[in-house]
């Protein structure tokens, strides 16, 4: 599988932190040239690119505000020009937010849908002509367990992740005749910096004990799946949203008190009014 990735040209959106950064590093370790996108602070993407280049790989960072559709389209063009083609696009960038429906503003709703749904749609649009001309390519979207199961106060976020699931299925059928495979990954609990930002008292071990696997996942767990989906080993897989969740969605948590509001607060710093 890793031999398939040698020399591939890959764009990873939201590559400055968390899962996206792990995916970018994973592809680079497998021998791919990687374009790393970031939205605002470029420190994380820059350090990842430096790590890749220092190790003898090829990486470059690109900035684009995903609430601006034109910047999304421009990112696709710029990354294609630098890479000289595109073998895999990983639509990872996304933001999360939790609030009761009666407290959610139009601006907050629009921000999540513009970043989580509109941006991957038009970034895919930007690279499809090149992949079609090549007769090959892989588009990998990031969804979430929220597309499969409910949680209080996540109606906006879950809606965006459900939209990605449906978009993945539909686009896969549209692009399959051109040799382009489209799939999605739905991560469960993956330890990223945002957990500590949203929940200062977050305890990884405590959350891990509630997951059938017995531990919280790491960005590399998602990177491994992305690399697999981009490889020829996954040639017969398309239109699927694959859960990588440690068994979370296989468990029926009837004992959970679903009437209690979630205690953390996501969206701080990037969703208006949080």
Note the pLDDT tens digit of each residue in 152-207.
999 999 999 999 999 999 999 999 999 999 999 999 999 987 777 777 777 888 88
Catalytic pick among 38, 109, 157, 228: 157
The model's pTM: 0.91
Secondary-structure percent of the chain, ordered helix, strand, coil, rounded to 5: 50, 15, 40
pLDDT digits (tens, 9 = 90+) for 44-54: 999 999 999 99
Give exposure, 175-199, as e/b (b: 16+ Cβ within 10 Å): beebebbbbbbbbbbbbbebbeebe
What pLDDT shows up at residue 271? Answer: 87
Q: What is the DSSP string of 107-156?
A: HHHHHHHIIIIIHHHHHHHHHHHHHHHHT-EEEEEE--GGGTS--TT-HH
pLDDT digits (tens, 9 = 90+) for 61-98: 999 999 999 999 999 999 999 999 999 999 999 999 99
What pLDDT shows up at residue 88? Answer: 98
pLDDT digits (tens, 9 = 90+) for 124-154: 999 999 999 999 999 999 999 999 999 999 9
- What ranges do the domains of the chain cover? 2-249
Q: Topology of domain 2-249, per CATH?
A: Rossmann fold (3.40.50)
C-beta of residue 51 within 8 angstroms of C-beta of residue 25: yes
DSSP summary character for residue 234 = G
Is 157 noted as a catalytic residue in this protein?
A: yes
> Residue 255: which residues within 8 A CB-CB, separation 6 or more?
none
DSSP summary character for residue 231 = S
């Amino acid at each position: 599988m890793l031999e398939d990735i040698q020399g591939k040209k890959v764009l990873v959106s939201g590559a400055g932190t968390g899962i996206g950064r792990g995916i970018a590093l994973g592809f680079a370790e497998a021998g791919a040239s990687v374009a790393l996108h970031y939205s605002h602070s470029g420190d994380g993407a820059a350090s990842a690119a430096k790590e890749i280049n220092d190790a003898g790989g090829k990486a470059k960072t690109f900035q684009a505000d995903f609430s601006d559709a034109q910047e999304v389209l421009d990112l696709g063009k710029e990354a294609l020009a630098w890479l000289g083609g595109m073998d895999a696009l990983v639509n990872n960038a996304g933001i999360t937010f939790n609030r009761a429906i009666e407290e959610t503003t139009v601006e907050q709703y629009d921000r999540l849908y513009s970043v989580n749904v509109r941006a991957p749609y038009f970034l895919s649009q930007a690279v499809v002509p090149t992949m079609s001309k090549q007769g090959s390519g892989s588009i990998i979207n990031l969804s979430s367990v929220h597309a499969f199961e409910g949680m209080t106060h996540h109606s906006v976020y879950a809606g965006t992740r459900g939209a990605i699931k449906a978009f993945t299925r539909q686009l896969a059928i549209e692009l399959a005749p051109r040799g382009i495979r489209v799939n999605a990954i739905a991560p469960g609990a993956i330890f990223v910096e945002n957990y500590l930002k949203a929940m200062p008292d977050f305890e990884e071990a405590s959350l891990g004990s509630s997951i059938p696997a017995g531990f919280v996942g790491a960005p590399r767990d998602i990177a491994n799946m992305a690399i697999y989906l981009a490889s020829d080993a996954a040639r017969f897989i398309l239109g699927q949203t694959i859960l990588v969740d440690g068994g979370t969605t296989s468990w029926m948590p009837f004992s959970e008190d679903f009437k209690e509001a979630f205690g953390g607060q996501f969206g701080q710093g990037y969703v208006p009014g949080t």
